[in-house]
Structure formats: structure tokens, C-alpha cells
Structure 1
Amino acid sequence: MKYGYSKGYDLLRFFERIVLNLHYRKIVYRGTENINEEHPLIFASNHRNAVVDPFLLLNVCKKEPVFLARADVFKNSFVAAIMRWLHIMPVYRIRDGVENLGNNNESFRLSGELLKRRIPIALYPEGSHNPKISLLPVKKAISRIVLPIEASENFTLNCEIIPVGVYYPDILGFLSDVYVVFGKPIRVADFRQQYEENPNLAANSLRNELESRMKELIVNIWNDAFYEEYLCAIQWNAPRLAREKHAGKREDFLLASKEVVHSLDRMFHDDRSTFDRQIGDFRMAMDILGKHKLSPRDNVANPASTVSIVVQLLLLTLSLPLTLFGFLNGILPILCYRKLLTLFKEDQFIPTLRVVSGLFIVPAFVVIQTLAVAIFSNGWWALLYLLLMPVTFYFACWWRKWAKSLLRKWRVNRFAKRFPDSWMKLISLIRLNHLSFR
């Protein structure tokens, strides 16, 4: 298939941008000045969120990039046709069968043609989804693609690899945040001499350089033995650090999260006894939270006041009729979404299904239900319904999140008032003392 500009694909990108901005409270892009689409580009990103990760990349590309994805999703012919229309090519792994690895030659050849035509390609060099906030070992797929292509052009093609880091503080959350950072490009021509002397060594050097650059861009919890404790440290300390040290910066929470992880890493390597005491404090804090049916995501450091809780409850109550209208008219899209969830066992597909539902399922039912209203009423009522249905349904989804946050606030408020000694002890346990605040 020849990949090129498609009006239909561009239209999909337009609606995808709208849906993505409705799904996330804040989308922050940094380093876009490192993208020069006049050069042949390969985007190399970490991969945690199925379809959402490519959508985030699409939003900053002027051209229509072609993605390389694992081949097992192409087994169904209908799905394969959709994937190719979406500018996605298959890449075969050993787990797809050794006999199929030869099929990669065609994908790599076509990738070379695309780069020569200045059409960007994008792939996820970890080779699979990674549910954790870390970077899996980077594979050599990019090296296998780009080095022979540059060599065939005597290293004059000027290919650049753009390392990309994507960070979701709450990957499953609706109206949460996401940060996308583009690193400085890696010039493939810089590996020319090494490639001419030893192609395998050059491929490893390029892979190592890419992996190192990607680690700098993301929050990388490499210490699996203490992964949960690292997560808790971020949830407990990054909000305050972002507020006090990085105020006014759109990437505030990303910077704060990286500082928390780096601080723990330094302790682990340089002062293991202090690190062990800190981890012990975190585990005691987790026990206290569990005893009082709280979670690390609850804002125990700054309990909401009773007055603010009552005000929020009043606003939720007053807006309940509008919410019920929204949920009632959105019941069919909700049922379809719930049905889709049963088809996937991994939680990482929840945000993808939510975005896909907003992109296709909700608009489809808006049209169907509006036509039904038009049949039984005049055109003005149908037009009014066409405007109100998606707005009130989105408001209902927002209301549900706000109601959940109110319940968490009430639990923390009750805990701090009923058990002040335990609350004070908890505050001292969750604080990461080696952090440098303002």
C-alpha cells in the first residue's frame, strides 16, 4: 500500500483532536521545536496507552506519519484493512513466529521509501505496551531500518530520530493530565564511520543512544523491587513540589515527578540505610491508609475544609437534574462502551476505548437519537436536542468524576478529624525529606 495524504484521514485527525482535548484536563507538549519535518524523521516513543499514544503524536505533526505496530493485531482481515487506512504497518516479532520474521523486510523497505519521500514514520522501540512508569529495553528495530537506508544514500539523506517521552500521572483517569516531550534529534549520519567499520556495533550504539535519550525524557521507575513505594512517593510529594518549586510551568507535575524519582534513586545508590528507612516510612503510611480505607491518591496532606465539601455537595445536588438528563440520553453509548470493555482484559485499553467511544460511538448515537426526535417532533426540537445531547452527556461524565472526588475529600476530612494523631503521623511518614523545595 502506498501511504500518502488522505482527506478522510485528515478529517479523522480533526475530530480526534477535539475528543482528546475533551478527555484530558491538560495536554502539555514540550520540545516541538526539535521537530523539523523537512528532514526524514523517525519518532521513537515509550508506549503505555494503546491508541492514545499515536493520537498524541498526530497532534503535533503537520504531515501524516506512518506508524509501525505489532503484527498480531493484523490477523483479522477487516481490522488489518482499518489499520492500513490509519497508516499503520505491521512489524513481526519472534513471538509472532520465526517463520514470519522475513515479512519485516517489506515493512522496512517501505519505511525507507517513506523516509525518502519525507513522510515521517513512528514506532515504539520497547516492542510492546509497558503498563509501568518505566522504560523497557529498547529493541534494534530502528537501527535495522534507518542505518541501511542511510548507507544506501551514502549517508546524505539526513535522517533524524526524535526520542519522545509520554507521561500519564493517572493513566486510567478521565479528565487527567498527559505530558509529551520531544527530545533533541539523533542524527543518523553521525554513526556513518562506525557503520562502515562494523554495522552490528553501529546498530547497538544507535540503540543505546536512543535508550539513553528516552530515559531522560520520562519518569523512569526502574527499581521494580520498590515500584509501589516510588509511586506513592510521587503521589504524596509531587503535587506540593509542583506547586512550590515549579509554579507557572505547564510541565510542573512532570518535573516534580522526575525529581521525586531521582531523589529516591540517589538515596538508593549513595545512602542505602536512609533509603531503607524512607521505604519503611512509606510502607507504614500505606498500612495506615489501608486501615482507614484510604488510598495513596487521596490528598491526605491537605484535607478539604468542611465548608468547601458542603459547597461542592450543594453544587452537585443542584446540577443533578441536568446530570440525569445527560446520563439518560447517553445510556446507549455507555452500554456499548461497557460491552467493549469486556473484550479487553488489560486495563491499559480503558482510555483508548473511552477515546474511541467519544470519536465514533457517541457521535453515532447523537445522530440516531436526533433523527428519532425529529420523527416525533418538529425540526427545532430536533436541532435543540442535537446540541444538548452531547453537551449534557459530557457534563454528566464530568459530574461523576467530581462526585467521586467529593467522596474522597469527605473521607480524608473525617479521618483527619476523628484520628488527629494518626493523621499527623501519616503526614510525617509520607514526606520525602531529601527533596529540595523552594
Structure 2
Amino acid sequence: MIYRLFRAIWRAALFAFFRRVDVQGRERVPVRGPLLLVSNHANAFVDPLLVITALRRPVSLTAKSTLRRNPLLAALIRALHVIEFHRGQDRAEGADPSRNVDAMAACRRRLAEGGAVCIFPEGVSHSDPALRPFRTGAARIALDFLAEADPGAALTIVPVGLQYEEKERFRSAAGIVFGAPLDAAAWLRDHPEADAGALTAEMESGIRALTANFATEREVATFARAEALWNAAAEPPVPLDRAEPVDITLRLQRIHRLQDGRGWLARERADELAALERRVDQLHGALRELGVSPDELFLPMDAGRAAFFVLREAEVMLIGAPLAAWGALNHAPILLTLRALVRRRSTDRDHFASNAVFLGLPIVPVFYAVQIGVAGLLLPAFWTVVYAASLPFTAAVALLYADRAGGVVRRARTFLRFARRPEHQRRLRADALAIVDDLRLLDAELTAREEAVAGGR
């Protein structure tokens, strides 16, 4: 009961921070039986919250022991029965690594009870462009569990990939992908001499396939821009009210393919690679200067469609405006207070979302209590109840309204800019299509090369 209550609270908190959370592969996660979820760790406390809110079955979380120093987090750790691990680098803060024997035993007990346990093998949250080296703890828990269990016992390991658009920005997007499940018992039978290192490598391979990993921050920008152009050319912009969840798996496939192609070009035709990356950067710079996204390059410039767009969005905006305004007015003090505290407490990129979510947990109820109390002094009981009920509802309306209004403004601005200077759209779209054609040609060349190598074996 307590777990479900907190999960509902976290779901609301994530809804407030992220504009969109896309979930893929949920059907790959067994609904019962021992389950070990292993994930990359890119956004501190938000990572486990995404996992537990994406699944219906309860998940036991793991966390570093030093989190207990925060009274609020200590209460949550006790309420949710979080398993605490003591890291060697936290000894100065009271961590005792010798107690990890008990923590690993607790994980095995949860699995023996048919439960699910989530572990982050990197051991620390970070904002690096690639995965950090994996620790063997998760693999040792799995192998020890199978060694202690009855013959024929099963354990499923599911890799999890977490993605963030701009994790430090309010109303950005996030995504979670559950990968192909691994039957740990069957894997061990096929690898009888395997140790924790081998199973850890198997876990890392599964997570690497679900994440985008880059050598440098420069590569992050280059591949993101190239993939955005590829996606825009394949899928023209849809009406704002029909936007579908992002296909994270397809985007990752494209990025991995671009990485393969870049590696090949770097070895075989470095000058061509440099020229292609320069063209991508130049086009991105031109789009940024105009305030245009890659998909808006392919915006149809039809006057009839534009008129329909204006009428439809004007109707939506007018209907939603009063509730959104009321929600924004009532929640402005909360937002301003939370923003100031988050900025003061956040020193790394992976702190912003976590601080916003966790600080909001006490701040929102306190402000609500004060506001409802004031309303109770000024209004009759009936209207006080109506006011109290309106607070969470109008908060959601205000958030969704702001997202929709922002999309309307951006798209209308782009249409007007291209309507006044159609040559801009033609030139930029031609540049984009030429780049995408080169990327597709590179993909075809790479495929032919791979097939030739395979055929020669």
C-alpha cells in the first residue's frame, strides 16, 4: 500500500518535471518471478523513479548508504525498504563497505521471495558521454542466488536503458527502454566456467545496446544533430495534437549506425568525414540562428492548412486559457521557491531533476496547506473545498497548456518566417536532404561492406 502510494506521488512528480516520458519494451519484463533489473545511471534519484513508475510490479531499489544523512531521504528509504550499499569512496561520510555482505544477502532474499531488484552497475550517477566501467556486484548477486537456490530455479535479468533529452531542463523529455530478458540460469549452463566478470560484461553489452555512448561531448552534439536530420527527413512534422511517443529504439539504432559509419570513414576517408561533419554543424548553426528545428524544415507551406492550424489551436488555447491562468497564478510561488532552491543546491547536471522532484515533495504540500488555509479564512466551506480540489487539476492544465502554447508559437513563427522568405526553407531543406542522402549512402556502403566480409568467412 505504501509502495503504491509513493509510486503514484513519484509519477505525478515526474509528470510535472518532464514534458514527456516515453516507455518501450515494458512487455519484456516478467510480471512475476525473481527479476534483476540492471540500468545505466545518468540522472541520480530520477533513474530509479523512472524504473518503478514504468512497471506495475513492485521493485526493490538499491542506493548508497550516505543518502540517509538527508532526513527526508532517510524516511523514504525506511518506508520503501531500500537496500543500502556502502561505497568505499564514502568512508569519510560514515560508509562501512564490510556491510555490503548484508546488502547483497538482502538482494538475494528479495529475489528468493520472487521479487524484483533494481541495481545500477556503474555504481554512481554521472553525466559522462559514455557508460562508466561496470562493477561486478549485480553479477555476483545473480550467481550467488543461483548457487544457493534449488535446482531448476529461474532468474531473469533485464537490461534497462535510460535516456534524457536535456536532463537539467524543466519540461524536457525522458525515455526508458527495457531490453531483451536474459535467462541467467540458461546463460550459466551455456557458460559453465563463467565468473562474475563474464556476466557483468554480458549485462554491460545489453545496456550498451540500449544507450547512446560517445567518446567526447563533441560527438554527442554531432550524432544528435545528424540523427535529428535523418529522422526529420523520414518523418515530416505531425499536428501538435497528434504527437506520438518517440521511438527510442529506432533513434538508438540510427545513432549506433552513424557511429559505425563514422568509425569506418575515420579510418578510410577522413577528409570526407570532416566535410560531412562540417556540413551538419553549419546547417545546425543556421537552424539555431533562425530558431527552427530540423523537422520544421519540412513544414508544409499550405495556406489552407495554416488557417486550419490557427483556428484549431486558437480554440484549444481559448478554452484552456482560464484554467491554465488560474493554475499558473496559484503555483507561481511554488515554482519560484522550488527553482531558487534547486539552483542553489544543484552543482552537477544530474542533480537538477532529482532536487526538483525531491524538494517538491515537502514544498508543494506546505504551500497547498497555506493556500487552502487562507482560502478557508476568506471563503465559505464549499468554495474552500472547490479551491482545494482545483489546485492539482489546474497545475496539470497549466503545464500542458504551456507545452502546447510553446509548440504553437514555435510552429507559427517558423511558418511566418518561411512564408516571408521561402528561399530560406528551400535552401536549408535542400542542404538537409543532401546530408541525409549522404548518410543513407554511407549506410548502404557499410552494409555492403559488412555483407562482403561475412560472405568471405
Normalising TM by the smaller chain, what interval?
0.7 to 0.9
> Contact 1:168–1:178 (CA<8 Å) still a contact in 2?
yes
2:397 corresponds to which residue? 395
1:258-407 superposed matches below 5 A:
258-272=252-266, 273=269, 274-290=272-288, 292=289, 294=291, 299-302=296-299, 307=307, 312=313, 316=317, 320-341=321-342, 342-356=344-358, 360-407=362-409
Q: Quick check: 1:184 aligned with 2:184?
A: no
Structure 1 residues 174 and 343: alpha-carbon distance in aligned structure 2, compared to 1, 3 A threshold = closer
Distance between the aligned counterparts of 1:169 and 1:78, measured in 2? 28
* One-letter amino acid of the counterpart of residue 216, structure 1: A
Q: Name the TM-score, length of structure 1 as normaliser.
A: 0.81
Deviation at 1:229, TM superposition (A): 0.9
Structure 1 residues 326 and 60: alpha-carbon distance in aligned structure 2, compared to 1, 3 A threshold = closer
Tell me whether 214-223 or 306-315 shows the greater mean CA deviation: 306-315
Give the SS at the match of 1:138: coil
1:14 corresponds to which residue? 8
Q: Render the CA deviation track for 1:66-101: whole Å, top value 9, x for unaligned.
A: 211234433446533432323322323343249843
Structure 1 residues 60 and 406: alpha-carbon distance in aligned structure 2, compared to 1, 3 A threshold = closer
Distance between the aligned counterparts of 2:257 and 2:149, measured in 1? 45
> Contact 1:232–1:296 (CA<8 Å) still a contact in 2?
no
> Contact 1:40–1:157 (CA<8 Å) still a contact in 2?
no
Deviation at 1:43, TM superposition (A): 0.6
1:159 corresponds to which residue? 155
Give the SS at the match of 1:228: helix
> Contact 2:233–2:298 (CA<8 Å) still a contact in 1?
no
2:139 corresponds to which residue? 143
* One-letter amino acid of the counterpart of residue 335, structure 1: L
> Contact 2:139–2:196 (CA<8 Å) still a contact in 1?
yes
1:120 corresponds to which residue? 116
Q: Quick check: 1:90 aligned with 2:84?
A: yes
Give the SS at the match of 1:299: helix
Give the SS at the match of 1:348: coil
Q: Render the CA deviation track for 1:360-389: whole Å, top value 9, x for unaligned.
A: 543443343223212222122112212323
Q: Render the CA deviation track for 1:94-146: whole Å, top value 9, x for unaligned.
A: 43249843232221122122222222210111222243675333321212222
Tell me whether 112-121 or 411-420 shows the greater mean CA deviation: 411-420
Deviation at 1:284, TM superposition (A): 1.2
Deviation at 1:228, TM superposition (A): 0.8
Q: Quick check: 1:69 aligned with 2:63?
A: yes
Q: Render the CA deviation track for 1:220-272: whole Å, top value 9, x for unaligned.
A: 4456552211111233332443569xxx9966532441243133123213344
1:208 corresponds to which residue? 201
> Contact 1:313–1:406 (CA<8 Å) still a contact in 2?
no
Q: Percent identity?
A: 22
Tell me whether 294-303 or 42-51 shows the greater mean CA deviation: 294-303
Structure 2: 5+ residue runs without aligned partners? 444-457
* One-letter amino acid of the counterpart of residue 123, structure 1: I
Q: Quick check: 1:253 aligned with 2:247?
A: yes
> Contact 1:264–1:275 (CA<8 Å) still a contact in 2?
no
Give the SS at the match of 1:59: helix
Distance between the aligned counterparts of 2:124 and 2:294, measured in 1? 27
